[in-house]
Structure 1
Amino acid sequence: MKKLLMFLIVAVLLVSANPFNSNEASAATPNELTTYAKKFKGTPYKFGGTTPSGFDCSGYLRYVFNNFDISIPRTAAEQYKMGTGVSKGNLKEGDMVFFSGTYKAGISHAGIYVGSGNFISATSGGVTIANLNTNPYWAPKYTGARRLSEVKNVATPVAKPVAKPALSLGQYYDVPTGYWAANEIKTLTVQGILTGDGSGIFNPNDNVSRAEAATIIARALKLKPVSGTTFKDVPAKHWAAGNINAVMKAGIVKGRSPGYFAPSAKITRAEISKLLTTAYEFKNVSASSAVSFTDTKGHWAESSIKILAASKVTTGHKDGSFQPNANAKRSEFTAFVYRSIESN
């Protein structure tokens, strides 16, 4: 009898000590949640989308939180009723942030706060990060934030942050003074043509979307934004609609296919060449001053590429190629725009 009693006591202790038998739900930390959320940056927008093949704003939040077994409602308006309200000055990573009046009255957009004034959300341009305080579209539409108790802050030793040096207008933490395009980036920023992400970061090696390129050209030429819808994939509420419509009206750009602009697509070096020769009305060059590349003969943008190369606006690569179909980086596009302005 004593042996049986001892066996039962040991069995109970073993079962209670097994971590797999715990009824306590695992909790997401704010950093785990935002790190996971950022994995979907660039995912295209899809109305009613709830998977990585395409998200709408509330579907994106629901997918991210569901990964940590946190169930939230389907719509942004219902999500706004969850958790505890948080003031803007006390936002922490993992908080849900909400906006009103984007495409309808009331709560109509939701995102996840990722720190430093930034939030990530599924927009018409795809899953992107924007700043709550400086973004001209989102800042005035910010409505409030909610914090879910399931997202736990874990007390771990954190090194005291080193204060970053103050930046003057046109400077960025990721564009050092000796960077090859530092002067061009600073000049166009001071002129109000370029902006960073709102936290002192420029991301010079990121690719440029067609919407971003149209916006930069519209600002450089001081074109007045044009309201309305010109392309089927650029609704009037799209962040770059006014500038895209403006450069279209000015005859500077066309769509990639009839009726479609492809605003989120990455612009190519060939498209930039055509864009700049049209925007700044570069003249044809003589045969003696023309520059040839190994991979542009017969290309649809060959003439524009030759004109910009002869005008010292663009350059090729060391192997003699131009790579017309390659995507352009933010630093490259900035340099090309700067040189176009200087040559006129």
Structure 2
Amino acid sequence: MKKRLMLMIIAVLLLSANPFNATEANAATPNEITTYANKFKGTPYKFGGTTPSGFDCSGYLRYVFNNFGISIPRTAAEQYKIGTGVSKSNLKEGDMVFFSGTYKAGISHAGIYVGNGNFISATSSGVTVANLNTNSYWAPKYTGARRLSEVKNVATPVSKPVAKPVAKKALPVGQYYDVATGHWAVKEIKSLSTQSIITGYDVSLFKPNNDVSRAEAATIIARALKLKPVKSSAFKDVPSSHWAAGNINAVMKAGIVQGRSPGHYAPNAKITRAEISKILTNAFALKASNSSTSFKDVKGHWAEGSINSVTASNLATGYKDGTFKPNANATRAEYATFVHRAINK
């Protein structure tokens, strides 16, 4: 009996010591990281915040990775020192991405790459997703990326080499590869471009279907009205180092725009059609329209008066279903058209 008991104990010890039976600790797949990170979309920003009641950028990353038993430093600058450097062209889901010069010099913002050029991070507008390559605020501030060894790398299928595209040449001012001659807004886009009121992207791209940020909207209005940039900082989330600070402060001083909340402008947030109506009404001193709106989704809306004014002035129109969609975002082509009509009304 004793001998049999000893044999059973030895067998248990051998099994528990077998590395093939061990569970790998602190391991997560890139998809698990990004899936968990996306759960916090919309969480409000809080300076020094480290919990779902409010995050700052580095606190958000720390919270996400800690869920998988991965401990990282507290600040974005310190987080940039860990892991292995990754080139922008080799980014994978779960990589940490970093930015410089957002509110101070050096590494000052961090996020998590979620694929297709997008990253998620805690910004002044809350936890949101933005594009590394096309976002006018984040793209020029991108600094680098780091990959943590604790995150399992899923093998990437080997694909056939893709032929390198032929580099395009810059077109004359006002012409864009993605705004064809027959585009419905080609005249307005060309006109504003030649007046330096609106600009495109590298290699003569306009990206007419991209949404317009509140920072871009203010900048375009400031240029259209030839307002002189104002250096003073009017909003807590628009530091003097922000690329659009001077124009945002100028249109605010002129009484054209307001913040989305006390002391906050939300420069990276997408502007809505209602907000555009209010901006155009203030910027171009449109006459108030007392007639009741014909749009079924505008009655009682906070911007009803402004929407009535821009539609009565033929600056904007509604949709075939009888709606104006005041809370929908406007594209770059639409905004260019609205501003062009206002200038030439």
TM-score (norm 1): 0.70
Residue of structure 1 in register with 2:255 after alignment: 251
Q: 1:61 to 1:255 in 2, by over 3 A?
A: closer
Letter in 2 for 1:341: H
Amino acid at match of 1:250: A
| Contact 1:184 1:334 (8 Å CA) reproduced | no
Task: Deviation per CA, 1:203-244: give whole Å up to 9, x if none.
Answer: 9586x6544532443355554543221135544345543332
Contact 2:315 2:341 survives alignment (8 Å): no
How many Å separate the matches in 2 of 1:59 and 1:97? Answer: 14
Q: Determine the structure 2 residue equivalent to 1:150.
A: 150
Correspondences of 1:193-212 after superposition (within 5 Å) = 193=198, 204=209, 210-212=214-216
User: 1:85–1:119: structure 2 CA closer, same or farther, 3 Å change rule?
Assistant: same
Structure 1 gap segments, 5+ residues each:
none
What letter is aligned with 1:52? P
CA distance in 1, matches of 2:231, 2:8: 79
Query: For residue 227 of structure 1, what is the aligned residue in structure 2?
Result: 231
Q: Percent identity, aligned pairs only?
A: 68
Matches within 5 A, 1:113-262: 113-114=113-114, 119-130=119-130, 138=138, 141-157=141-157, 170=176, 193=198, 204=209, 210-221=214-225, 223-232=227-236, 234-238=238-242, 240-255=244-259, 261=265
Cα deviations across residues 64-87 of structure 1 (Å, max 9, x unaligned)?
222322110111232233223445
Match in the other structure for 2:172:
none
Contact 1:234 1:261 in 2 (8 A): yes
Q: Which residue of 2 aligns with 1:28?
A: 28
SS at match of 2:311: helix
Q: Match of 1:108, as an amino acid? A: S
| Structure 2, unaligned runs of 5 or more | 169-174
Mapped to 2, the partners of 1:129 and 1:298 lie a distance apart of 31
Q: CA deviation at 1:247?
A: 1.4
> Secondary structure of 2:327's partner?
coil
Matched, 1:341 2:343: no
What TM-score do you get using the length of structure 2 for normalisation? 0.70
**Does the C-alpha gap of structure 1 residues 252 and 114 become closer, same or farther in structure 2, counting only changes over 3 Å?**
same
Q: Is the 8 A contact 2:133 2:139 kept in 1?
A: yes
Q: C-alpha offsets along residues 291-322 of structure 1, whole Å, 9 cap, x if unaligned?
A: 74456567664443233223333233455454
Residues 68 and 180 of structure 1, relative CA distance in 2, 3 Å threshold: farther
Give 3-state SS (helix, strand or coil) of 1:217's partner: helix
1:118–1:322 Cα change, 3 Å: closer
Q: Which amino acid aligns with 2:277?
A: S
Call closer, same or farther: CA 1:68–1:215 in 2, change over 3 Å. Answer: farther
Which residue in the other structure is 2:329 paired with? Answer: 329
User: Equivalents in 2 of 1:98, 1:221: separation in Å?
Assistant: 36
**Which residue number in structure 2 is paired with residue 277 of structure 1?**
281
Q: 1:66 to 1:194 in 2, by over 3 A?
A: farther
Whole-angstrom distance in 2 between the partners of 1:304 and 1:214: 17
Query: Residues 111 and 122 of structure 2 are in contact (CA less than 8 Å); yes or no, is this contact kept in structure 1?
Result: yes
C-alpha deviation, 1:119, in angstroms: 4.2
